[in-house]
Structure 1
Amino acid sequence: MATGADEPRRVGRPRAGGRARSGLDPVEEILQVAGELFGEHGVAGTSMTRIAQAAGLRQSSLYYYFSSKEELLAALVARASVVPLELLRRVMADGGSPATQLYRFVRGDVTALTRLPLDINEVHRLARHDAERFAGYWRDREALVRLLSGLVRTGVEEGELREVDPRRAALTVMATDEGSQNWYRGRTRPPLDVVACEVADVAVAGLLAEGTPLEAIRAKALPFD
Protein backbone atom coordinates (compact mmCIF):
# COMPACT_ATOMS: atom_id res chain seq x y z
CA MET A 1 0.00 0.00 0.00
CA ALA A 2 1.54 3.27 -1.08
CA THR A 3 1.17 5.63 1.85
CA GLY A 4 3.41 7.96 3.78
CA ALA A 5 3.83 5.18 6.32
CA ASP A 6 5.51 2.97 3.66
CA GLU A 7 8.05 5.58 2.57
CA PRO A 8 11.42 6.25 4.29
CA ARG A 9 10.81 8.06 7.57
CA ARG A 10 11.40 11.80 7.43
CA VAL A 11 13.02 13.44 10.39
CA GLY A 12 14.12 16.86 11.49
CA ARG A 13 11.13 19.08 10.78
CA PRO A 14 10.61 21.80 13.41
CA ARG A 15 7.85 21.60 15.98
CA ALA A 16 5.61 24.41 17.07
CA GLY A 17 7.48 25.78 20.05
CA GLY A 18 9.93 22.89 19.91
CA ARG A 19 7.57 20.74 21.97
CA ALA A 20 7.66 16.93 21.92
CA ARG A 21 4.63 15.05 23.21
CA SER A 22 6.16 11.68 23.96
CA GLY A 23 9.59 11.24 22.42
CA LEU A 24 8.18 9.01 19.68
CA ASP A 25 9.37 9.02 16.09
CA PRO A 26 7.47 11.95 14.47
CA VAL A 27 5.48 9.69 12.13
CA GLU A 28 4.51 7.39 15.01
CA GLU A 29 3.49 10.36 17.11
CA ILE A 30 1.35 11.85 14.34
CA LEU A 31 -0.40 8.52 13.79
CA GLN A 32 -1.05 8.13 17.50
CA VAL A 33 -2.48 11.65 17.81
CA ALA A 34 -4.56 11.31 14.66
CA GLY A 35 -6.02 7.99 15.82
CA GLU A 36 -7.08 9.55 19.12
CA LEU A 37 -8.67 12.53 17.37
CA PHE A 38 -10.41 10.42 14.73
CA GLY A 39 -11.86 8.28 17.50
CA GLU A 40 -13.08 11.29 19.47
CA HIS A 41 -14.30 13.57 16.69
CA GLY A 42 -14.63 11.28 13.66
CA VAL A 43 -12.60 11.62 10.49
CA ALA A 44 -14.82 14.35 9.04
CA GLY A 45 -14.62 16.33 12.28
CA THR A 46 -10.83 16.22 12.51
CA SER A 47 -8.80 18.72 10.52
CA MET A 48 -5.12 18.67 9.70
CA THR A 49 -4.85 21.88 11.73
CA ARG A 50 -6.21 20.10 14.81
CA ILE A 51 -3.86 17.16 14.29
CA ALA A 52 -0.86 19.47 13.95
CA GLN A 53 -1.77 21.36 17.11
CA ALA A 54 -2.27 18.15 19.12
CA ALA A 55 1.05 16.78 17.87
CA GLY A 56 2.87 20.02 18.67
CA LEU A 57 3.75 20.60 15.02
CA ARG A 58 3.45 23.52 12.68
CA GLN A 59 0.88 22.69 10.02
CA SER A 60 3.55 22.93 7.32
CA SER A 61 5.57 20.33 9.23
CA LEU A 62 2.61 17.96 9.37
CA TYR A 63 2.28 18.20 5.57
CA TYR A 64 5.95 17.31 5.34
CA TYR A 65 5.08 13.86 6.73
CA PHE A 66 1.58 13.40 5.29
CA SER A 67 0.26 15.25 2.26
CA SER A 68 -3.40 14.97 3.29
CA LYS A 69 -5.75 13.72 5.96
CA GLU A 70 -6.70 10.86 3.63
CA GLU A 71 -3.08 9.74 3.37
CA LEU A 72 -2.78 9.82 7.15
CA LEU A 73 -5.98 7.81 7.56
CA ALA A 74 -4.80 5.27 4.98
CA ALA A 75 -1.59 4.76 6.95
CA LEU A 76 -3.58 4.12 10.13
CA VAL A 77 -6.00 1.78 8.39
CA ALA A 78 -3.16 -0.18 6.78
CA ARG A 79 -1.83 -0.99 10.24
CA ALA A 80 -5.22 -1.83 11.69
CA SER A 81 -6.18 -4.12 8.81
CA VAL A 82 -3.41 -6.63 9.49
CA VAL A 83 -4.58 -7.26 13.08
CA PRO A 84 -7.53 -9.61 12.34
CA LEU A 85 -5.56 -11.35 9.59
CA GLU A 86 -2.64 -12.07 11.90
CA LEU A 87 -5.08 -13.11 14.64
CA LEU A 88 -6.78 -15.68 12.42
CA ARG A 89 -3.47 -17.04 11.16
CA ARG A 90 -2.26 -17.47 14.74
CA VAL A 91 -5.51 -19.14 15.80
CA MET A 92 -5.37 -21.56 12.86
CA ALA A 93 -1.71 -22.34 13.58
CA ASP A 94 -2.63 -23.27 17.16
CA GLY A 95 -5.02 -25.93 15.88
CA GLY A 96 -8.26 -27.17 17.35
CA SER A 97 -11.57 -27.90 15.67
CA PRO A 98 -12.97 -25.39 13.14
CA ALA A 99 -15.68 -24.23 15.56
CA THR A 100 -13.12 -23.76 18.33
CA GLN A 101 -10.91 -21.70 16.02
CA LEU A 102 -13.91 -19.67 14.88
CA TYR A 103 -14.89 -18.95 18.48
CA ARG A 104 -11.37 -17.79 19.29
CA PHE A 105 -11.24 -15.57 16.21
CA VAL A 106 -14.54 -13.85 16.94
CA ARG A 107 -13.60 -13.28 20.55
CA GLY A 108 -10.23 -11.79 19.63
CA ASP A 109 -11.61 -9.77 16.71
CA VAL A 110 -14.31 -8.15 18.85
CA THR A 111 -11.71 -7.27 21.47
CA ALA A 112 -9.45 -5.64 18.88
CA LEU A 113 -12.28 -3.75 17.17
CA THR A 114 -13.66 -2.29 20.38
CA ARG A 115 -10.18 -1.01 21.24
CA LEU A 116 -9.64 0.48 17.78
CA PRO A 117 -9.93 4.29 17.92
CA LEU A 118 -11.31 4.46 14.37
CA ASP A 119 -14.96 3.88 13.54
CA ILE A 120 -14.71 0.88 11.21
CA ASN A 121 -17.92 1.84 9.39
CA GLU A 122 -16.57 5.32 8.68
CA VAL A 123 -13.37 3.74 7.42
CA HIS A 124 -15.36 1.55 5.02
CA ARG A 125 -17.27 4.52 3.65
CA LEU A 126 -14.10 6.49 3.02
CA ALA A 127 -12.17 3.52 1.65
CA ARG A 128 -14.84 2.78 -0.94
CA HIS A 129 -14.45 6.29 -2.38
CA ASP A 130 -10.66 6.01 -2.65
CA ALA A 131 -9.97 2.43 -3.73
CA GLU A 132 -6.44 3.17 -4.92
CA ARG A 133 -5.23 4.77 -1.69
CA PHE A 134 -6.87 2.05 0.41
CA ALA A 135 -5.90 -0.84 -1.89
CA GLY A 136 -3.82 -2.48 0.83
CA TYR A 137 -6.75 -2.44 3.21
CA TRP A 138 -9.04 -4.14 0.70
CA ARG A 139 -6.36 -6.74 -0.10
CA ASP A 140 -5.95 -7.64 3.56
CA ARG A 141 -9.70 -7.74 4.03
CA GLU A 142 -10.18 -10.09 1.08
CA ALA A 143 -7.39 -12.32 2.41
CA LEU A 144 -9.23 -12.45 5.74
CA VAL A 145 -12.50 -13.39 4.01
CA ARG A 146 -10.77 -16.21 2.12
CA LEU A 147 -9.13 -17.65 5.24
CA LEU A 148 -12.31 -17.41 7.28
CA SER A 149 -14.34 -18.95 4.44
CA GLY A 150 -11.91 -21.84 4.31
CA LEU A 151 -12.28 -22.39 8.04
CA VAL A 152 -16.06 -22.47 7.76
CA ARG A 153 -15.88 -24.81 4.75
CA THR A 154 -13.71 -27.24 6.72
CA GLY A 155 -16.18 -27.14 9.60
CA VAL A 156 -19.05 -27.95 7.25
CA GLU A 157 -17.15 -30.80 5.61
CA GLU A 158 -16.29 -32.28 9.01
CA GLY A 159 -19.89 -32.04 10.17
CA GLU A 160 -19.18 -29.65 13.05
CA LEU A 161 -20.88 -26.72 11.32
CA ARG A 162 -24.20 -26.82 9.50
CA GLU A 163 -24.53 -26.50 5.73
CA VAL A 164 -23.95 -22.83 4.84
CA ASP A 165 -22.32 -20.85 2.08
CA PRO A 166 -18.79 -20.42 3.51
CA ARG A 167 -18.13 -16.97 2.07
CA ARG A 168 -21.46 -15.49 3.11
CA ALA A 169 -21.05 -17.00 6.56
CA ALA A 170 -17.56 -15.47 6.84
CA LEU A 171 -18.84 -12.04 5.79
CA THR A 172 -21.70 -12.30 8.29
CA VAL A 173 -19.30 -13.15 11.11
CA MET A 174 -17.12 -10.18 10.21
CA ALA A 175 -20.14 -7.86 10.04
CA THR A 176 -21.26 -9.05 13.48
CA ASP A 177 -17.82 -8.35 14.92
CA GLU A 178 -17.71 -4.90 13.34
CA GLY A 179 -21.22 -4.04 14.48
CA SER A 180 -20.28 -4.79 18.07
CA GLN A 181 -17.80 -1.91 17.96
CA ASN A 182 -20.62 0.65 17.69
CA TRP A 183 -22.93 -0.50 20.45
CA TYR A 184 -20.06 -1.24 22.83
CA ARG A 185 -19.07 2.42 22.69
CA GLY A 186 -22.35 3.52 24.24
CA ARG A 187 -22.57 4.97 27.72
CA THR A 188 -23.08 1.62 29.43
CA ARG A 189 -20.19 -0.71 28.78
CA PRO A 190 -20.16 -4.27 30.11
CA PRO A 191 -16.71 -5.79 30.72
CA LEU A 192 -14.98 -6.30 27.38
CA ASP A 193 -14.18 -9.96 27.98
CA VAL A 194 -17.88 -10.61 28.69
CA VAL A 195 -18.93 -8.82 25.50
CA ALA A 196 -16.37 -10.67 23.39
CA CYS A 197 -17.60 -14.04 24.67
CA GLU A 198 -21.25 -13.11 24.16
CA VAL A 199 -20.65 -12.10 20.54
CA ALA A 200 -18.66 -15.30 19.96
CA ASP A 201 -21.51 -17.30 21.52
CA VAL A 202 -24.04 -15.77 19.12
CA ALA A 203 -21.85 -16.04 16.02
CA VAL A 204 -20.75 -19.63 16.55
CA ALA A 205 -24.05 -20.95 17.90
CA GLY A 206 -25.76 -19.91 14.67
CA LEU A 207 -23.34 -22.02 12.62
CA LEU A 208 -23.08 -25.18 14.72
CA ALA A 209 -24.51 -28.39 13.35
CA GLU A 210 -27.29 -30.02 15.32
CA GLY A 211 -25.87 -32.00 18.22
CA THR A 212 -22.73 -29.90 18.60
CA PRO A 213 -23.00 -28.17 22.00
CA LEU A 214 -21.84 -24.57 22.21
CA GLU A 215 -20.71 -25.09 25.81
CA ALA A 216 -18.16 -27.68 24.68
CA ILE A 217 -16.79 -25.38 21.98
CA ARG A 218 -16.50 -22.48 24.44
CA ALA A 219 -14.77 -24.69 27.00
CA LYS A 220 -12.17 -25.74 24.41
CA ALA A 221 -11.61 -22.20 23.11
CA LEU A 222 -11.16 -20.20 26.31
CA PRO A 223 -8.05 -21.95 27.68
CA PHE A 224 -6.11 -20.96 24.53
CA ASP A 225 -6.46 -17.28 25.38
Structure 2
Amino acid sequence: MEAGATARSQLSGEKAQRIVDAMRSSVALRGVAGSTFDHVARDAGVSRGLLHYYFGSKERLLAEVVKRDTELRLGMLDEQLAKASSAADFIAMLRSTLEAMLREDTEFLTLSFEVFTLSRRNPDIAVEYTELVRRTREHVAAVLAAKQDEGVLTLHGEPEAIAEIIFGLGDGLALRLLSEPDRDHRATVEAGTRAVAALIG
Protein backbone atom coordinates (compact mmCIF):
# COMPACT_ATOMS: atom_id res chain seq x y z
CA MET A 1 0.00 0.00 0.00
CA GLU A 2 1.37 3.45 -0.86
CA ALA A 3 2.22 5.94 1.90
CA GLY A 4 -0.67 8.27 1.03
CA ALA A 5 -3.19 5.46 1.26
CA THR A 6 -1.75 4.40 4.63
CA ALA A 7 -2.00 7.95 5.93
CA ARG A 8 -5.60 8.26 4.74
CA SER A 9 -6.53 5.01 6.45
CA GLN A 10 -5.22 6.41 9.74
CA LEU A 11 -7.32 9.57 9.56
CA SER A 12 -10.47 8.85 11.51
CA GLY A 13 -12.83 10.24 14.06
CA GLU A 14 -14.22 13.71 14.45
CA LYS A 15 -11.45 15.52 12.54
CA ALA A 16 -11.86 13.29 9.49
CA GLN A 17 -15.61 13.84 9.51
CA ARG A 18 -15.13 17.61 9.64
CA ILE A 19 -12.88 17.45 6.58
CA VAL A 20 -15.30 15.23 4.67
CA ASP A 21 -18.26 17.44 5.55
CA ALA A 22 -16.33 20.59 4.62
CA MET A 23 -15.41 19.20 1.21
CA ARG A 24 -18.98 18.09 0.51
CA SER A 25 -20.35 21.50 1.44
CA SER A 26 -17.66 23.35 -0.48
CA VAL A 27 -18.39 21.45 -3.71
CA ALA A 28 -22.10 22.21 -3.32
CA LEU A 29 -21.34 25.91 -2.74
CA ARG A 30 -18.33 26.57 -5.00
CA GLY A 31 -18.10 23.59 -7.35
CA VAL A 32 -15.08 21.34 -7.64
CA ALA A 33 -12.85 23.94 -9.32
CA GLY A 34 -13.50 26.47 -6.57
CA SER A 35 -13.09 24.01 -3.69
CA THR A 36 -9.43 24.60 -2.84
CA PHE A 37 -7.53 23.12 0.10
CA ASP A 38 -7.53 26.63 1.60
CA HIS A 39 -11.34 26.74 1.59
CA VAL A 40 -11.74 23.21 2.92
CA ALA A 41 -9.10 23.57 5.63
CA ARG A 42 -10.66 26.81 6.86
CA ASP A 43 -14.18 25.36 6.85
CA ALA A 44 -13.02 22.19 8.64
CA GLY A 45 -10.92 24.10 11.19
CA VAL A 46 -7.70 22.25 10.31
CA SER A 47 -4.44 23.25 8.68
CA ARG A 48 -3.89 23.17 4.94
CA GLY A 49 -0.75 21.12 5.61
CA LEU A 50 -2.85 18.41 7.27
CA LEU A 51 -4.95 18.03 4.12
CA HIS A 52 -1.83 17.78 1.98
CA TYR A 53 -0.30 15.21 4.32
CA TYR A 54 -3.30 12.91 4.40
CA PHE A 55 -4.66 13.35 0.88
CA GLY A 56 -1.94 14.89 -1.29
CA SER A 57 -4.39 16.42 -3.74
CA LYS A 58 -7.91 17.75 -3.96
CA GLU A 59 -8.83 14.89 -6.29
CA ARG A 60 -7.83 12.29 -3.72
CA LEU A 61 -9.84 14.09 -1.07
CA LEU A 62 -12.87 14.04 -3.36
CA ALA A 63 -12.43 10.30 -3.88
CA GLU A 64 -12.16 9.77 -0.12
CA VAL A 65 -15.35 11.76 0.50
CA VAL A 66 -17.27 9.61 -1.98
CA LYS A 67 -15.75 6.43 -0.51
CA ARG A 68 -16.71 7.34 3.06
CA ASP A 69 -20.20 8.46 2.04
CA THR A 70 -20.72 5.25 0.08
CA GLU A 71 -19.65 3.09 3.02
CA LEU A 72 -22.02 4.98 5.31
CA ARG A 73 -24.90 4.59 2.86
CA LEU A 74 -24.22 0.89 2.40
CA GLY A 75 -24.33 0.43 6.16
CA MET A 76 -27.67 2.22 6.37
CA LEU A 77 -28.98 0.22 3.40
CA ASP A 78 -27.94 -3.03 5.11
CA GLU A 79 -29.96 -2.10 8.19
CA GLN A 80 -33.03 -1.30 6.10
CA LEU A 81 -32.82 -4.31 3.81
CA ALA A 82 -32.28 -6.69 6.72
CA LYS A 83 -35.91 -5.96 7.64
CA ALA A 84 -37.24 -6.80 4.17
CA SER A 85 -39.51 -9.84 4.27
CA SER A 86 -40.63 -9.73 0.63
CA ALA A 87 -39.51 -8.50 -2.78
CA ALA A 88 -42.02 -5.65 -2.45
CA ASP A 89 -40.35 -4.53 0.82
CA PHE A 90 -36.92 -4.71 -0.81
CA ILE A 91 -37.98 -2.65 -3.82
CA ALA A 92 -39.81 -0.10 -1.68
CA MET A 93 -36.67 0.47 0.40
CA LEU A 94 -34.49 0.91 -2.69
CA ARG A 95 -36.98 3.41 -4.08
CA SER A 96 -37.26 5.37 -0.85
CA THR A 97 -33.46 5.54 -0.61
CA LEU A 98 -33.21 7.04 -4.10
CA GLU A 99 -36.04 9.50 -3.47
CA ALA A 100 -34.56 10.60 -0.13
CA MET A 101 -31.17 11.21 -1.75
CA LEU A 102 -32.73 13.29 -4.53
CA ARG A 103 -34.76 15.24 -2.02
CA GLU A 104 -32.23 15.73 0.79
CA ASP A 105 -28.69 15.06 -0.37
CA THR A 106 -27.88 16.00 -3.94
CA GLU A 107 -24.35 16.87 -2.74
CA PHE A 108 -23.48 13.17 -2.70
CA LEU A 109 -24.72 12.70 -6.25
CA THR A 110 -22.77 15.75 -7.45
CA LEU A 111 -19.60 14.45 -5.82
CA SER A 112 -20.08 10.98 -7.29
CA PHE A 113 -20.46 12.34 -10.81
CA GLU A 114 -17.47 14.65 -10.33
CA VAL A 115 -15.23 11.79 -9.18
CA PHE A 116 -16.36 9.67 -12.14
CA THR A 117 -15.40 12.53 -14.48
CA LEU A 118 -12.01 12.88 -12.76
CA SER A 119 -11.43 9.14 -13.07
CA ARG A 120 -11.59 9.43 -16.87
CA ARG A 121 -8.47 11.58 -16.97
CA ASN A 122 -6.60 10.81 -13.72
CA PRO A 123 -5.12 7.27 -13.54
CA ASP A 124 -4.75 7.34 -9.75
CA ILE A 125 -8.37 8.34 -9.23
CA ALA A 126 -9.42 5.77 -11.83
CA VAL A 127 -7.87 3.00 -9.73
CA GLU A 128 -9.65 4.19 -6.57
CA TYR A 129 -12.96 4.72 -8.35
CA THR A 130 -12.83 1.28 -9.98
CA GLU A 131 -12.17 -0.31 -6.61
CA LEU A 132 -15.10 1.57 -5.07
CA VAL A 133 -17.43 0.45 -7.87
CA ARG A 134 -16.28 -3.16 -7.47
CA ARG A 135 -16.73 -3.18 -3.70
CA THR A 136 -20.20 -1.64 -3.77
CA ARG A 137 -21.33 -4.03 -6.52
CA GLU A 138 -20.05 -7.06 -4.64
CA HIS A 139 -21.56 -5.82 -1.39
CA VAL A 140 -25.06 -5.38 -2.83
CA ALA A 141 -24.72 -8.66 -4.75
CA ALA A 142 -24.00 -10.44 -1.46
CA VAL A 143 -27.13 -8.91 0.08
CA LEU A 144 -29.21 -10.03 -2.91
CA ALA A 145 -27.81 -13.57 -2.73
CA ALA A 146 -28.45 -13.74 1.01
CA LYS A 147 -32.04 -12.60 0.54
CA GLN A 148 -32.53 -15.24 -2.12
CA ASP A 149 -31.18 -17.89 0.26
CA GLU A 150 -33.71 -16.68 2.85
CA GLY A 151 -36.52 -17.10 0.33
CA VAL A 152 -37.27 -13.36 0.28
CA LEU A 153 -36.17 -12.80 -3.33
CA THR A 154 -36.10 -14.79 -6.54
CA LEU A 155 -33.24 -13.50 -8.65
CA HIS A 156 -33.62 -13.63 -12.42
CA GLY A 157 -29.92 -13.30 -13.15
CA GLU A 158 -26.52 -13.39 -11.45
CA PRO A 159 -26.44 -11.32 -8.22
CA GLU A 160 -23.59 -9.08 -9.42
CA ALA A 161 -25.28 -8.46 -12.76
CA ILE A 162 -28.51 -7.49 -11.01
CA ALA A 163 -26.62 -5.24 -8.58
CA GLU A 164 -25.01 -3.53 -11.59
CA ILE A 165 -28.42 -2.93 -13.18
CA ILE A 166 -29.80 -1.51 -9.92
CA PHE A 167 -26.89 0.92 -9.65
CA GLY A 168 -27.13 1.79 -13.33
CA LEU A 169 -30.82 2.57 -13.04
CA GLY A 170 -30.30 4.56 -9.86
CA ASP A 171 -27.41 6.64 -11.23
CA GLY A 172 -29.12 7.20 -14.55
CA LEU A 173 -32.44 8.17 -13.02
CA ALA A 174 -30.72 10.52 -10.59
CA LEU A 175 -28.93 12.30 -13.42
CA ARG A 176 -32.11 12.63 -15.49
CA LEU A 177 -34.27 13.77 -12.58
CA LEU A 178 -31.76 16.36 -11.38
CA SER A 179 -31.48 17.73 -14.91
CA GLU A 180 -35.22 18.58 -14.93
CA PRO A 181 -36.10 19.31 -11.30
CA ASP A 182 -39.47 20.89 -12.11
CA ARG A 183 -40.77 17.94 -14.15
CA ASP A 184 -43.09 15.36 -12.61
CA HIS A 185 -40.97 12.21 -12.58
CA ARG A 186 -43.36 9.88 -10.77
CA ALA A 187 -44.17 7.82 -13.88
CA THR A 188 -40.44 7.46 -14.64
CA VAL A 189 -39.64 6.27 -11.13
CA GLU A 190 -42.57 3.87 -11.26
CA ALA A 191 -41.31 2.39 -14.54
CA GLY A 192 -37.85 1.98 -13.01
CA THR A 193 -39.39 0.26 -10.01
CA ARG A 194 -41.16 -2.23 -12.26
CA ALA A 195 -37.89 -2.91 -14.09
CA VAL A 196 -36.16 -3.82 -10.83
CA ALA A 197 -39.16 -5.92 -9.76
CA ALA A 198 -38.80 -8.00 -12.93
CA LEU A 199 -35.25 -8.92 -11.88
CA ILE A 200 -35.77 -9.75 -8.22
CA GLY A 201 -39.47 -10.62 -7.83
Shorter-chain TM range is 0.5 to 0.7
Question: How does 1:37-76 map onto structure 2 within 5 Å?
Answer: 37-55=26-44, 59-76=48-65
CA shift at 1:202, angstroms? 2.4
CA distance in 2, matches of 1:62, 1:88: 30
- Counterpart AA for 1:176: L
Q: Could you state the TM-score of these two structures normalised by the residue count of structure 1?
A: 0.61
Question: Unpaired runs of 5+ in structure 2?
Answer: none
Bigger relative contact order (CA 8 A; separation at least 6): 1
Measured after TM superposition, the shift of residue 35 of structure 1 is: 0.8
Larger helix fraction of residues: 2
Change in Cα spacing, 1:59 to 1:147, as seen in structure 2 (3 Å) is same
Q: Which protein has the larger Cα radius of gyration, Structure 1 or Structure 2?
A: 1
Q: Secondary structure at the match of 2:67?
A: helix
Contact 1:110–1:180, Cα closer than 8 Å, also in 2:
no
In structure 2, the residue matched to 1:144 is 139
CA distance in 2: counterparts of 1:150 and 1:54, whole angstroms: 42
**2:194 corresponds to which residue?**
205
1:108 Cα deviation from its structure 2 partner: 1.4
- Measured at CA, do residues 111 and 127 of structure 1 come closer, stay the same or move farther in structure 2, by a change above 3 Å? farther
Distance 1:46 1:144, change over 3 A: same
**Identity level (%):** 21
- Once residues 203 and 38 of structure 1 are traced to their aligned partners in structure 2, the CA distance between those partners, rounded to angstroms, is 29
Give the corresponding residue for 2:118.
126
Point out where structure 1 has 5 or more consecutive residues left out of the alignment.
Answer: 10-23, 213-225
**2:22 matched to which residue of 1?**
33
Q: 1:28 to 1:90 in 2, by over 3 A?
A: closer
Write the letter of the residue equivalent to 1:140: R
Using the alignment, how far apart are the partners of 2:139 and 2:166 within structure 1? 11
On the 8 A contact 1:81/1:140 being kept in 2, the answer is no
Corresponding position of 2:174? 181
Match of 1:170 among 143, 154, 163: 163
2:83 pairs, out of 84, 94, 103, with: 94
Q: Which runs of 4+ in 1 moved over 6 A?
A: none
- Give yes or no for contact 2:91–2:196 (8 Å, CA) kept in 1: no
Other-structure match for 1:223: none
Alpha-carbon distance between aligned partners in 1 of 2:11 and 2:76, rounded to the nearest angstrom = 27
For residues 113-149 of structure 1, what are the alpha-carbon distances to aligned partners after superposition, in whole Å with 9 as ceiling and x for unaligned?
6515132222223346324444652343122342365
> 1:30-78: per-residue Cα shift (whole Å, max 9, x none)?
2211111123343344222332344455533542443221332232122
Larger CA deviation: 40-49 vs 169-178:
40-49
Q: CA deviation at 1:84?
A: 4.1
- Per the alignment, in what secondary structure is the counterpart of residue 96 of structure 2? helix
TM-score normalised according to structure 2 size:
0.66
Amino acid at match of 2:168: A
Question: Structure 2 vs 1, CA of residues 64 and 112 (structure 1 numbering), >3 Å: closer, same or farther?
Answer: same
Coordinate RMSD, CA, aligned: 4.0
Distance 1:3 1:186 in 2: 38
- Letter of the 1:143 counterpart: E
Contact 1:99 1:161 in 2 (8 A): no
Aligned length, in residue pairs: 189
